[in-house]
Amino acid sequence: MNNLFVHLLLWGVIFILPYFFMDSERVFTWRPFLRSIPEMLGFMLIFYLNFFLLIDQLLYKGKNRAFILWNILLIIAVSLFMHYGRELMEYFMPHLRPRWRGRRSNNLFPLLFLLRNSTSLFLMMGLSVALKMTVRWWEVENERKELAKAKTEAELQNLKNQINPHFLLNTLNNIYALIEFNPPKAQQAVMDLSKLLRHLLYDNNQTYVPLRQEADFMRNYIELMRIRLADHVKLTTHFDYAETGNTLISPLIFISLMENAFKHGISGERESFIDISLREHADGKVEFATRNSFFPKSTSDKSGSGIGLELVKRKLELLYPDSYLWHTTVEKDIYSTVLVIDTKKKQDDTQLLDHR
């Protein structure tokens, strides 16, 4: 909010608007304008004494009675100033005296004048309080948004710090298993892991990355997992997205879902399958799905610790609130999960917030 613009607009309306209600035959003249200077000064004095001093020192600190008392005293004093200030101006500048005022005196006139001024000054006090409250609300709201943004960024960074060790732990466990029965594949796995680490070190520091970049990471991860698969495990993938598109996605948002498929979808003896797909729709939605045979691990199996899916859920709530759908099903020993993220809606919401 531009405070200077608001104040200029306020006083412009207060001092200029009355001239629009004059008779059509009357035009602006300096005489009534100069005669109103004491009233203008009185209005501004009450307004800014409240705006910069009394509201902060009394009203915001809960001293309501003192605030009201000080305003009553000020309004009485300023009302007298406005009345006698005009009288002094007319005394020293007789040409400012209105033509309709004769020599006769009216004992009620000063009292009515003071009453009118006091009412107007009370309105100015209320206007000052209203504007001050609005400005304070705006500032508090901006601070709240900044704090919420900082908290979200800190929590996201914390989630990244948790996802990385979790992901690396599972990958190292896979390489350790390969070393025992297939050292050449273990060497290849180390090479593939280095590519993944490059993505973690450089790309994961960003809040969003291009979808094609994240898809390359997912392919590298899948190939790393494929090395350890036995012949009775069937792994299929399907990637469908625009290679030159500008769709952005949160990095590592799908990695825990793929880890879950490899963890629970493979049996050491029985036929197994894993199907992974990633599709980008024309309306900006990104659909990720896994479908795999389901061999749930026992509670004694601590590998992976099961925190990955909880981290994904929390990350979705922070980055894509009201912009995603995620559901899982288990039917006839087949586990399926589908995650749809509306990246276009998220982008539109972000732009809307940036313009506020």
Domains of the chain and any CATH numbers: 3-142 (no CATH), 182-354 (3.30.565.10)
**What is the per-residue pLDDT for 206?**
77
Give the whole-angstrom CA distance, residue 52 versus residue 296: 67
Q: What pLDDT, on a 0 to 100 scale, did the predictor assign at position 118?
A: 82
CA 286/CA 279 separation, integer angstroms = 6
Name, of 35-49, 100-114, 153-167, 231-245, the range with top average pLDDT. 231-245
pLDDT higher than threshold 50 for residue 103 = no
- pLDDT value at 119 more than 80: yes
pLDDT confidence bin for 293, thresholds 50/70/90: very high
Residue 305: pLDDT band by 50, 70, 90 thresholds?
very low
What string of H, E and C letters represents the secondary structure of 143-203?
HHHHHHHHHHHHHHHHHHHHHHHHHHHHHHHHHHHHHHHCHHHHHHHHHHHHHHHHHHHHH
Exposure string for 118-145, b = 16+ CB within 10 A, e = fewer? bebbeebbebbbebbeeeeeeeeeeeee
Q: What is the predicted pLDDT for the residue at 334?
A: 92
Is the model's pLDDT at 102 over the cut of 90? Answer: no
Is the Cβ–Cβ distance between 251 and 209 less than 8 Å? yes
Which residues, other chains included, contact 333 with Cβ-Cβ below 8 Å and sequence gap of 6+? 293, 294, 295
Mean pLDDT throughout 130-158? 75
For the chain, the average pLDDT equals 77
pLDDT tens figures, 184-223: 877 777 877 777 777 666 666 677 889 998 898 899 888 8
Cβ-contact 309, 256 below 8 angstroms = yes
Enter the pTM of the model: 0.55
Would you state the pLDDT for residue 354?
A: 47
Contact in structure between 274 and 233 (CB atoms under 8 Å): yes
- Tell me: pLDDT of 335 over 90: yes
> What's the average model confidence in pLDDT over 12-28?
57
Q: Mean pLDDT, to the nearest integer, of 90-110?
A: 55
> Which pLDDT does position 353 carry in this prediction?
42
Indicate the SS3 state at residue 102: coil
Q: Do the strands 209-210 and 324-331 form a parallel or antiparallel pair, or are they unpaired?
A: unpaired
Whole-angstrom Cα distance, residue 337 to residue 329?
Answer: 6
Residue identified by tokens 């009534």 is 32
Residue 139 CA neighbour count, 13 Å, CB half: 8
Helix or strand holding residue 339 (H, E): strand 334-342
